[in-house]
């Protein structure tokens, strides 16, 4: 393929700011179309496969931020990285953010990127990701990133074509993804490839398709609707209509002129972008007029229209009590606790025990921004963050690093029961330095038994699990499978290294029942001679979480 056929790249196979933005959008769409497929690459019998959605949300945050950036390619790339870091979800999202950060550092100061610079950027991205992950594991997105970068360097040495370089990188990524089960035994056991690696491959593919002029799919992705927009809507209660967002391409687009025209349609006018790609936002009773304007000026890329009155009702219903003021406040000495919690019951209990709760849905994957927001709502000088899941740890650490002028520590709890134990151990008036060791010790003394139904047949560790059967884990390790709740909880309890001497707490999940919880409580009472408390956790899975301490 020669340079002239690089349809969407500029003269000489160069990519400039506008093309970078557009290609990110395309990759975002492409990744969204694949996200369910990526999610389905589960390696564990519990359906917590959220890699696709997490990578998509991370990339969308990157693309959104890139959309708002003016200036050179380097500036847009920095914005992209910033957006990714702030919006990163889950481990795969966090690694993706590191990748984008490495890429952006390499592109700093450049107006355009050619094949060699692209290869150098991909290499820096992979290196940054390896450096930032405390325990890099081969057979994951890291391997895929490195192989893609290696291939890109080789291609760029031989050909100046950006598309060729991207194609080689994509081919290498595909080969690396196929190889992941050989590198990571747990993947092989479950007969899947690595979800994060596949996500990265899809992302590269999306960019490649954009530059080759191939379609990436329909414009159903709601881009740019972020929490701050939602808050804006909560305040704009005097105006009902349609929140209309349109992304469109054109030539010699003038933001000021467009803003003026939009102002005639409604309120809350925003227009960001540059002369050939523009995103507009307006609250209007005539969304059609906005679309007409966009088609008159160019070509619509994407549209999102929300009925704000309905949104307002939903939003108001979700906000119990007044919106908390964000005004600066004087902080009391001592330690506040921020806890990530999933499930209405867990969230209520954490809040009642005086934690500031990061409420997540579906999976334990808060963004850095959500954790930062929770830290912002605390009222003591020091803060301890409890991620309560391995998937939330990196976001918690990233958030902790970003807070200036306050001591923010992370106690790396890996389950909500452990987080609860850590929370109860806090001395609110003592500084974080005094609290963290005690909280970590309390968390380590708390054991967590989980009982769930397997969604696929697999061999996990020493335990064979049949699809649809029950299985129990103790501190994340599978210990038994079977059909009897009683037998499972007894099996799990006998695996406890030191007998508990305090209390067991059963947290019933969304699909669990009080009767089963009682079946679980009875053997714990008689076997371990401890108190058993039954609470509603409301977690989507597993059906029963039992803390034993």
By CB under 8 A, what part of segment 117-146 binds another protein? Answer: none
525 binds another protein (CB under 8 A): no
Q: Which region among 129-137, 454-462, 502-510, 518-526 touches another protein (by CB under 8 A)?
A: 502-510
Report the distance separating Cα 70 and Cα 196, nearest Å.
Answer: 31
347 binds another protein (CB under 8 A): no
**Nearest residue to 439 via CA among 448, 451, 457, 427:** 427
Task: Give the one residue of 8, 116, 359, 438 binding another protein; rule: CB under 8 A.
Answer: 438
Residue that the structure tokens 């209309």 belong to: 244
By CB under 8 A, what part of segment 404-423 binds another protein? Answer: 420
Task: Give the one residue of 348, 381, 403, 455 binding another protein; rule: CB under 8 A.
Answer: 348
103 binds another protein (CB under 8 A): no
Q: At what angle do helices 51-68 and 195-212 cross, to 10 degrees?
A: 40
477 binds another protein (CB under 8 A): no
Q: Which is nearer to another protein, 537 or 542 (CB)?
A: 537
Collect all residues with Cβ–Cβ distance below 8 Å to 342 and sequence separation of at least 6.
360, 361, 362, 363, 364, 416, 539, 540
549 binds another protein (CB under 8 A): yes
Task: Give the one residue of 185, 213, 288, 428 binding another protein; rule: CB under 8 A.
Answer: 428
SS3 annotation, 7-65: CCCCHHHCEEHHHHHHHHHHHHHHHHHHHHHHHCCCCCCCCCCCHHHHHHHHHHHHHHH
Task: Give the one residue of 349, 410, 465, 508 binding another protein; rule: CB under 8 A.
Answer: 349
Q: Which region among 47-55, 73-81, 137-145, 501-509 touches another protein (by CB under 8 A)?
A: 501-509
Instruction: Print burial letters for 105-137: b (CB count within 10 Å at least 16), e (below 16).
Output: bbbeebebbbbbbbbbbbbbbbbbbbebbeeee
Q: Which region among 15-23, 425-433, 454-462, 484-492 touches another protein (by CB under 8 A)?
A: 425-433
Residue that the structure tokens 């997540």 belong to: 360
Q: Extract the runs of DSSP E, i.e. beta strands, from 102-241.
A: 112-113
Reading the block at residue 345, the tokens are 């019951």
Q: Which is nearer to another protein, 354 or 459 (CB)?
A: 354
- How many Å separate Cα 83 from the centre of its chain? 12
> By rule CB under 8 A, what count of residues binds another protein?
21
Instruction: Print burial letters for 190-213: b (CB count within 10 Å at least 16), e (below 16).
Output: bebbbbbbbbbbbbbbbbbbbbbe
Count the neighbouring beta carbons within 10 Å of the beta carbon of residue 321. Answer: 5
498 binds another protein (CB under 8 A): no
Inter-residue contact 291 to 33 (CB < 8 Å) = no
Report the distance separating Cα 224 and Cα 232, nearest Å.
Answer: 13
531 binds another protein (CB under 8 A): yes
Q: Which is nearer to another protein, 429 or 483 (CB)?
A: 429
Q: Which region among 59-67, 146-154, 291-299, 497-505 touches another protein (by CB under 8 A)?
A: 497-505
514 binds another protein (CB under 8 A): no
Listing DSSP states for 494-509 in one string gives HT-SS---SEEEEEE-
Q: Which region among 215-223, 232-240, 284-292, 495-503 touches another protein (by CB under 8 A)?
A: 495-503
424 binds another protein (CB under 8 A): yes
Task: Give the one residue of 5, 275, 362, 427 binding another protein; rule: CB under 8 A.
Answer: 427
Q: Which region among 8-16, 133-141, 169-177, 351-359 touches another protein (by CB under 8 A)?
A: 351-359
Least distance CB 200 / another protein (angstroms): 42
503 binds another protein (CB under 8 A): yes
502 binds another protein (CB under 8 A): yes
Listing DSSP states for 362-393 in one string gives SSS---HHHHHHHHHH--EEEEEEE--SHHHH
**Could you list the residues that contact another protein (CB under 8 A)?**
348-349, 352-354, 420, 424-429, 438, 501-503, 505, 531, 533, 535, 549
């Amino acid at each position: 393929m020669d340079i002239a056929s690089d349809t969407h790249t500029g003269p000489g196979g160069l990519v400039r700011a506008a093309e970078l933005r557009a290609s990110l959008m395309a990759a975002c769409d492409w990744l969204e179309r694949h996200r369910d497929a990526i999610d389905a690459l589960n390696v564990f019998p519990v359906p917590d496969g959220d890699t696709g959605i997490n990578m998509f949300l991370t990339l969308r945050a990157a693309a959104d931020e890139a959309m708002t950036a003016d200036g050179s390619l380097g500036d847009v790339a920095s914005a992209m990285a910033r957006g990714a870091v702030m919006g990163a979800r889950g481990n795969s999202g966090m690694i993706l953010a590191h990748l984008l950060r490495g890429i952006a550092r390499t592109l700093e100061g450049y107006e355009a990127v050619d094949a060699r610079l692209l290869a150098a950027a991909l290499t820096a991205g992979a290196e940054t990701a390896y450096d930032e992950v405390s325990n890099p594991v081969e057979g994951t997105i890291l391997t895929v990133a490195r192989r893609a970068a290696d291939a890109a360097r080789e291609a760029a040495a031989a050909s100046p074509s950006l598309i060729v370089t991207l194609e080689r990188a994509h081919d290498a990524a595909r080969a690396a993804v196929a190889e992941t089960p050989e590198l990571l035994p747990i993947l092989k056991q479950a007969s899947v490839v690595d979800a994060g690696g596949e996500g990265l491959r899809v992302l590269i593919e999306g960019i490649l398709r954009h530059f080759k002029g191939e379609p990436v799919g329909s414009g159903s992705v709601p881009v740019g609707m972020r929490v701050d927009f939602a808050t804006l809507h909560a305040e704009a209660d005097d105006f009902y209509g349609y929140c209309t967002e349109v992304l469109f391409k054109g030539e010699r687009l003038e933001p000021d002129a467009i803003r003026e025209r939009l102002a005639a349609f409604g309120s809350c006018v925003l227009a960001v972008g540059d002369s050939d790609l523009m995103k507009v936002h307006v609250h209007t009773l005539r969304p059609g007029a906005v679309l007409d304007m966009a088609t008159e000026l160019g070509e619509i890329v994407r549209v999102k229209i929300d009925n704000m009155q309905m949104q307002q009702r939903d939003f108001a219903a979700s906000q119990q009590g007044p919106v908390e003021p964000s005004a600066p406040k004087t902080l009391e000495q001592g330690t506040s606790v921020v806890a990530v919690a999933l499930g209405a019951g867990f969230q209520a209990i954490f809040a009642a025990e005086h934690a500031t709760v990061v409420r997540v849905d579906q999976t334990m994957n808060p963004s850095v921004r959500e954790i930062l927001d929770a830290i912002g709502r605390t009222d003591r000088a020091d803060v301890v963050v409890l991620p309560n899941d391995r998937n939330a740890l990196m976001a918690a650490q990233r958030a902790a690093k970003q807070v200036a002028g306050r001591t923010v520590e992370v106690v790396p709890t890996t389950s909500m029961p452990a987080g609860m134990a850590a929370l109860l151990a806090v001395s609110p008036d003592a500084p974080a330095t005094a609290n963290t060791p005690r909280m970590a010790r309390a968390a380590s003394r708390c054991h967590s038994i989980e009982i769930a139904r397997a969604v696929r047949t697999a061999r996990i560790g020493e335990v064979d699990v049949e699809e649809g059967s029950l299985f129990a884990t103790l501190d994340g390790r599978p210990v038994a499978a079977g059909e009897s709740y009683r037998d499972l909880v007894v099996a799990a309890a006998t695996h406890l290294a030191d007998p508990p001497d305090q209390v067991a707490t059963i947290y019933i999940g969304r699909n669990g029942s009080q009767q089963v919880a009682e079946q679980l409580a009875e053997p714990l009472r008689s076997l371990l001679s401890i108190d058993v408390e039954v609470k509603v956790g409301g977690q989507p899975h597993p059906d029963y979480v039992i803390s034993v301490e």
